[in-house]
Amino acid sequence: SREGGQLESFTYLTYEVRGDVAILGLNRPKKRNAISDAFVEELATLIRRAESEAKAGVIHGHGPHFCAGLDLAEHVKKTPFEGVHGSRRWHEVFGWIQKGKLPWFAALHGAVVGGGLELASSVQVRVADRSAFFGLPEGQRGIFVGGGASVRSAQLMGVARMQDMMLTGRTVDADTAERWNIVQYVVDEGAALDKAVELAAHAATNAEISNYAIINALPRIQDMGSDDGLFVESFIASFTATSPEAEERLNAFLNKKVGKVARPEG
Question: Which residues are part of the catalytic machinery?
Answer: 118, 138
Task: CB nearer to ligand 1HE: give 25 or 114.
Answer: 114
Helix axis angle, 244-254 to 208-222, nearest 10°: 110
Binding ligand 1HE by CB under 6 A: which of 44, 72, 218, 232? Answer: 72
Tell me which stretch binds ligand 1HE (CB under 6 A): 110-118, 150-158, 162-170, 214-222: 110-118
What values do phi and psi take at 171, rounded to 5? -110, 150
What DSSP string describes 88-152?
HHHHHHHHHHHTSSS-EEEEE-SEEETHHHHHHHHSSEEEEETT-EEE-THHHHT----SSTTTH
Binding ligand 1HE by CB under 6 A: which of 12, 90, 105, 212? Answer: 90
| Sheet with strand 8-9: strands edge to edge | 8-9, 13-18, 21-26, 56-61, 104-108, 125-129, 185-187
CB atoms near residue 55 (< 10 Å): 21
Under rule CB under 6 A, residue 141 binds ligand 1HE: yes
Please report, as residue ranges, which positions from 165 to 194 form the binding site for ligand 1HE (by CB under 6 A): none
What DSSP string describes 207-255?
-HHHHHHHHHHHHHHHTS-HHHHHHHHHHHHHHHHTSHHHHHHHHHHHT
Under rule CB under 6 A, residue 61 binds ligand 1HE: no
Under rule CB under 6 A, residue 32 binds ligand 1HE: yes
Binding ligand 1HE by CB under 6 A: which of 34, 107, 125, 197? Answer: 34
Return d(Cα 22, Cα 15) in angstroms, integer: 7
Under rule CB under 6 A, residue 89 binds ligand 1HE: no
CB of 237: closest distance to ligand 1HE in angstroms?
36
Task: CB nearer to ligand 1HE: give 94 or 212.
Answer: 94
Binding ligand 1HE by CB under 6 A: which of 68, 123, 165, 192? Answer: 68
Closest by CA to 111, choosing from 165, 178, 69, 65, is 65
Task: CB nearer to ligand 1HE: give 124 or 131.
Answer: 131
Tell me which stretch binds ligand 1HE (CB under 6 A): 68-76, 190-198, 205-213, 225-233: 68-76
CB of 26: closest distance to ligand 1HE in angstroms?
12
Longest distance between any two alpha carbons in the chain, whole Å:
64
Please give the residue ranges that form the binding site for ligand 1HE (CB under 6 A): 31-32, 34, 64-65, 68-73, 87, 90, 111, 113-115, 137-138, 141, 143, 145-147
